[in-house]
Amino acid sequence: MRDRAAAKRARPQIPASPAGERLHKVLARAGLASRREIESWIEAGRVRLNGKPAGLGDRASASDRIEVDGELVDLRAVTPLKTRVLVYYKEAGEVCTRKDPEGRPTIFAKLPRIRRGQWVAIGRLDLNTTGLILFTTNGELAHRLMHPSREIEREYSVRVIGQATPAQIQNLLRGVELADGPAAFNAVREIGGTGINRWYSVVLKEGRNREVRRLWESQGLTVSRLIRTRYGPCSLLRWRHPGQFWDLELKEFAELMVAAGLHAEASKPRGRISRPKSATGGRTHRSKPATRERTGRGKTDRARRRPGSDRDE
């Protein structure tokens, strides 16, 4: 018995895990920004933890005092039930930044205002690309959906000047060497077109800068129009119009959380907003982009909010 007790005392003790979670994950889930952007804030000294400058490896819990740019962060917002995902139909000519020095319209100008946190964009589109962009109040969700390891599919409708040959399509599927490394489409399908303009549907599982356009250019073909029609399980419905936004349906919301590996956090999203008006018989007509939504207490809020980190084009 003595020998056994002595041997037990001699075993190396495993140190207890530090309390809380990584600071950048806590702040991302609070909806302040994506994890990548928050890491840059910490490196720049904009974040303080319990009165001291925060470090990248710091952990935090609800009992800690966290400040960003001198403002106290309310950790009560860090709850999966608060996660919200919004779909926005980007218009041509809009930039994917919060503010533009040239005064161009941004994708955040029409979004509904939220009481806590900020809208985090999931991916970006270039100036002339239109289509689906997802926004969320959960920075951790945004980080996971944009991370290459998740291999989330992005689908685009592409109008090309000229018709691609079978050999060119095979090149795009096998992969070509771009300036930032090899790239390829996961699927290419011709979907119509007349004259010199042909339409194709393409699928990618990553989001590098202008990747769709550069892949076609590698084959000597020019993209004259580009629309993102799907991001993961979320699709752009035909009866939606540029400038509109809406909350995900419950089914899409749950599927998106599963795709991000956060299915345990799935909760019912709020009611949809900015619906286009319908005439008798179910026919849908173009409506002006909505800039307001009804809050839970019956008050009306105007819209504005937040950019993201990777770029899909």
Both tokens of 260, joined, read 């991000």
Catalytic residues: 126
Facing residues of 85 across strands?
136
Cα–Cα distances in Å, from 169 out to 39, 99, 155, 189, 217? 40, 39, 16, 9, 12
Alpha-carbon dihedral angle through residues 36, 40, 41, 43, given to the nearest 10 degrees = 140
Both tokens of 81, joined, read 């039930």
DSSP conformation letters of 172-218: HHH-EEETTEEE--SEEEEEE--TTEEEEEEEESS--TTHHHHHHHT
Both tokens of 118, joined, read 């900020």
DSSP state at residue 116: S
Pick the closest to residue 178 from 206, 152, 203 (CA basis): 206
Rounded to an integer, what distance in angstroms lies between the CA atom of residue 198 and that of residue 159? 6
147 SS3 class: coil
Rounded to an integer, what distance in angstroms lies between the CA atom of residue 87 and that of residue 119? 11
Pick the closest to residue 247 from 270, 279, 221, 227 (CA basis): 270
Residue 277 amino acid letter: K
Terminal Cα distance for the chain, rounded:
69
DSSP strand E in 8-146: where? Answer: 21-22, 47-49, 52-53, 59-60, 66-68, 71-72, 85-90, 120-122, 130-136
Both tokens of 193, joined, read 């077109």
